Amino acid sequence: MQVQPLAIPDVMLFTPTVFGDERGFFMETFRQSEFEAYCGHYQFVQDNHSKSKQGILRGLHYQLEKPQGKLLRVTQGEVFDIAVDLRKSSPTFGQWVGVYLSAENKQVLWVPPGFAHGFYVTSEEAEFQYKCTDYYHPGDEYSLLWCDAALGIEWPLVGGQPPRLSAKDEKGQALAWADAPKF
């Protein structure tokens, strides 16, 4: 497996080695020892799976009291995946990194606790799977405004059309008003 730190070095992109032939393929998507060597010691406590249609934007979600680290991959379709550093003491506070995750490239993205996370579906539909380092706590989930000019995220909007958002995400806060997660 190849591991590449992104522009925010704590966010890591894993590219698995894929073994394939006429029957199909095999790949290892997670190995605890390799993950810890690059990302630190985290325990995953919850796995999630979502399916979304083209033009859906989910996020940018973050938690304050119980921040979640997320290990993310796409098993059908393609998404543009974003991580925003919300760690006030970080030299990259308020910066974002984005990558395309797809069933085709089979890449896995590590987004540590203390980041806001979101994705935009660029294919007709996408299935998204991820592991979390803490349980989902409905009262501890917040959203950054996806189009906050202070973030300057360059979303690859299909046909230039605005994304479809949940009611919660439509009410996302600007970075200037967002509280920082606790560690």
Q: Active-site residue numbers? A: 61, 130
Q: Annotate the chain with DSSP letters as a single string.
A: -EEEE-SSTTSEEEE--EEEETTEEEE----HHHHHHHH------EEEEEEEETTBEEEEEE-SSSPPPEEEEEEESEEEEEEEE--TTSTTTT-EEEEEEETTT--EEEE-TTEEEEEEE-SSEEEEEEEESS---GGG-EEB-TT-TTT------GGGPPPB--HHHHTPBPGGGPPPPP-
